[in-house]
Structure formats: structure tokens, C-alpha cells
Amino acid sequence: MSRIKIENGRIVDPANGIDAIGSLYISGGKIVAVGAALADFDAEQTIDAAGQVVCPGFVDLSVRLREPGQTQKGNIQSETRAALAAGVTSLCLPPDTKPCIDTPAVVEYIKDKAEQAGYAQVYSIGALTQRLDGNELSTMFALKQAGCIAVGNASAPLGNLLILRRAMEYASSHNLLLMFRANEASLSGKGCAHEGAVASRYGLPGIPEAAESIALAQCLELAELTGCRVHFSQISCKQSVIKIQQAKKYGLNVTADVAIHQLHLTENDIEPFDSNYHVMPPLRAAIDRQYLREALANGTVDAICSDHQPHDLDAKLGAFPETESGVAALETLLPLTLALTGQHRIGLAQALAGLTCNPARIMGLAAGTLAIGANADVCIFDPALVWRVERPAWLSAGCNTPYWGRELIGRVTHTLQAGRVAYRLQQPAATNRA
């Protein structure tokens, strides 16, 4: 392990309340000093981070890698590499792989592949029910033993509330966090867009906000009954924010994240029938976005995730309702998060907390911090670098983003994983700065 000095950067470490110009010292894969100079530190490698931000590597709570099962869309190698280029050093893989993560063998397979790839650290979320069928409980303890750090049913519905109750009781017996994607399937049906003005005009089957908030409210009731720790994944609407806020005030042990695109896009941004805007939950109304942003600012929403879902071309070629939902979002995660700062009362440290220490705390991971002795998972980014979202700059195998051709500000220049420079931006010939 080499000794690395990162100097002259603006060190922002929300976990430890640090926001100052200084140097970061890394040795043996660990952080050995922050800010103050180490007199006898003989750096083998020095990175000049002048004008850049140095922060903990990001912890992304929802990243589809498409392996096993759908390697035509991406694989562990391609997507964990894209993750590093996005500053993500740890990521959570939802259980809806094919086969799904309902046996230790699948967990081991993913672990092996991720280790072989050698990029971002992959943490598997175990299936809550066998085959994600919503009826039979999975072998949660065995999954935990194999390395799963939480359980969930991804987007698959549960048979009924009794099954959810039993699953929550069982999960909490093994101190497993439930990652819950709130969706009442009987209300969302075959919907593909927010049930609002845009879906009405374009005749797209709608999904009401209540499909999410009713499911969320039921889960909150059961969280109190069962004592299960619950994390609500990718909430999208005002009523969900209000209910989580009330639950937290009441003292329930719940947390929530939001997908970055929900903080920027609304139903009004949808280019008619452009399948790149087909996401689940759907892009909501402007008032929902406003509540989500405020929730991030006031701490009701704890974390921001990419909800990265790479697709092949075929998945998005077709009439809007028949296309697959999801955005390849890793590489736009940072600039879109930075775009939230300076407005909506979200400071840089707070925004970065949503990408680093908060998700790490939710998942119980020793990550998302620059504390001395911590693993040196570090992201260095240029907050003023202007770049265009286009193929040459894109590492994910997924080509589905509504941001193609758009100029974004802010880009990762280096990512260090356990003290190793695992990604370095190849600087374009002409660099624009905002």
C-alpha cells in the first residue's frame, strides 16, 4: 500500500464536521492524518487537489449491476468501474438480480465477481421473500451470514400485509434492516407515469401518489408493531415526506432516500413518449419535488442515491408504456447533487452527507468518513468542471439517461479505494470551468 498525500484541496467531511483547505494523508490503505501536516510523512505519490473538493467516497444505496442474469445491460465489471468514475466507492445491490439474491450462493457469486473486478465495494441486499415472490420468507439469517447487510423485496409486491408483518418480525429478530420500496400494486397497476396532468394529456396509464404513500403508511404502522428498522427507498412524493417526518418526530427508527433524478425532474420535464424519462416511481409533480428538496434540507430524507439502472438499447426502444423503467444514473449523480447546493437551503456539506456518512450510517458500514484510521475511500472532484453527457465520457454499459447532450458542472477527477488510486479522470484537451 502506497503512501499518498492529497494536498491543497478543500476537505469536506460531513461525518466529522470538517470543511477546510488542507491535506489528507494516506498510508497502508488508511487515512492517517487530515489537515495538519505530518512532519515525517514520506509520500510516494502526491495529488495536487487545488481548486477541488476532497471528500469521502460515496455510498450509493441503490445500484443495479445487471449481473447475474442480465449481462446484456451491464455487468459487475462495467458498472462498478462506472461507479468509481462517479466517486462511488461502496454500493448496495438490490436483490432483483436473475436469479435474485435469495440464496448464499448468489451472494457469494456477486462477492467473487466484485472482488475480481476490483472496483467499487459491492454490498448485497438479500431478498425478503424467496424468489421475490412475496409469499415465502427468505432464509434471511443465511443471507446475513453470507454477507447481506439488509433485506428487501426491491420492486416486487408482497402477497399481503401479514406476510410483510412476519417478514419484518423475522428480519428484526436477526437485526436486519428492511429496505422498503413503498408501492401498493393494486393502485399502481400497469401505470407508467405519474397520475397527473401530463399522463392525462398523453393518455399514459397513471400511478397516483397514494400508491406510494398508502404502502408507506402501512409499513410505518408495522414498523411500530414489529420494532423492525426500516429504510424507505426512493420515495417520490409529498405525502411520503410528511409521513416520514411525522414518524421520525414520533421516534420511529426509520430513514429514507431519494433518487437524484426525483430532485431535479418533474412530470413537466418529460419529453412526450421519450422512454429515457420512464422511471419508477414516476417523475412526480413540481410540488412533490419541492417537498423532496426541503426534506433533504431538513433531514427528513437522509440520503441521495443514484437508483442506477442500466439498460440495453432494446429495453428503451418501443412505445413508452412497454419500455423498461430506469435511468443509468451513476455518472450524473455528483453534478446533479452539486446543482442542488447554493439553492433550496442545501449546503455542500449537507449534500455530501447525503452521499457519504448518512447512507453509511443507515447501512451500518464503516465508510463515508475521512476519520483517522478509516479506510481511505476518497473522492476528489472539481466542482467547477463543465462536461457534456455523451458517449466518450460514459463508462456505464447503460445508455439510458435523459441528460444526453446536456452540459453538467462538477466532475470526479480521482477516486481512491482503500488507499489506492482506482480511478483518475483523463483530462480532456480543453477544460472548461464554470
Partner 1 sequence: MTRHLQLTEQGKLKHFLTIEGLDRELLTEILDTAESFVGMSEHQVKKVPLLRGKTIVNLFFENSTRTRTTFELAATRLSADVLNMDIARSATSKGESLLDTIRNLEAMQVDMFVVRHALSGAAHFIAQQVAPHISVINAGDGQHAHPTQAMLDMFTIRQYKKQFAGLKVAIVGDILHSRVARSQILALNALGVAEVRVIAPKTLLPAQVKTMGVTPIHDMDEGLADVDVVIMLRLQKERMNSAFLPSESEFFRCFGLTEAKLQRAKSDAIVMHPGPINRGVEIASSVADGSQSVILQQVSNGVAVRMAIMSMAMQSGGTA
Q: Which residue numbers are catalytic?
A: 307
The phi and psi torsions of 385 (rounded to 5 degrees) equal -75, 125
Q: Which is nearer to partner 1, 195 or 307 (CB)?
A: 195
Classify 336 as helix, strand or coil.
helix
Count of residues interacting with partner 1 (CB under 8 A): 22
Locus of grid cell 451470514:
145
Q: Which is nearer to partner 1, 99 or 208 (CB)?
A: 208
Pick one of 87, 95, 104, 196: the residue that binds partner 1 (CB under 8 A). 196
Look at the alpha carbons of 255, 261, 264, 268 in this order and tell me if their dihedral is positive or negative. Answer: negative
Question: How far apart (Å, rounded) are the C-alpha atoms in residues 35 and 54?
Answer: 11
State the binding string over 239-278 for partner 1 (x if CB under 8 A, else -): --------------------------------xxx-----
Question: How far apart (Å, rounded) are the C-alpha atoms in residues 347 and 297?
Answer: 8
Is there binding between residue 201 and partner 1 (CB under 8 A)?
yes
Is there binding between residue 287 and partner 1 (CB under 8 A)?
no
Q: Tell me the three cell numbers of residue 214.
A: 398508502
Q: CB of residue 180 vs partner 1: minimum separation in angstroms?
A: 26
Pick one of 202, 299, 342, 433: the residue that binds partner 1 (CB under 8 A). 202
Angstrom distances, CA of residue 360 to CA of 34, 85, 256, 281, 322:
20, 19, 13, 24, 36
Pick one of 65, 125, 199, 256: the residue that binds partner 1 (CB under 8 A). 199
Question: How far apart (Å, rounded) are the C-alpha atoms in residues 313 and 104?
Answer: 32
Task: Name every residue whose Cβ is closer than 8 Å to that of residue 186 and which is 6 or more positions away in sequence.
Answer: none
Pick one of 205, 210, 324, 350: the residue that binds partner 1 (CB under 8 A). 205
What DSSP designation does 137 have?
Answer: B
Q: CB of residue 286 vs partner 1: minimum separation in angstroms?
A: 13
Question: How far apart (Å, rounded) are the C-alpha atoms in residues 411 and 269?
Answer: 24
Pick one of 96, 102, 184, 195: the residue that binds partner 1 (CB under 8 A). 195
Pick one of 203, 251, 392, 405: the residue that binds partner 1 (CB under 8 A). 203
Q: Which is nearer to partner 1, 190 or 391 (CB)?
A: 190
Site for partner 1 in 313-332 (CB under 8 A): 314, 317-322
**Binding residues for partner 1, per CB under 8 A?**
195-197, 199-206, 208, 271-273, 314, 317-322
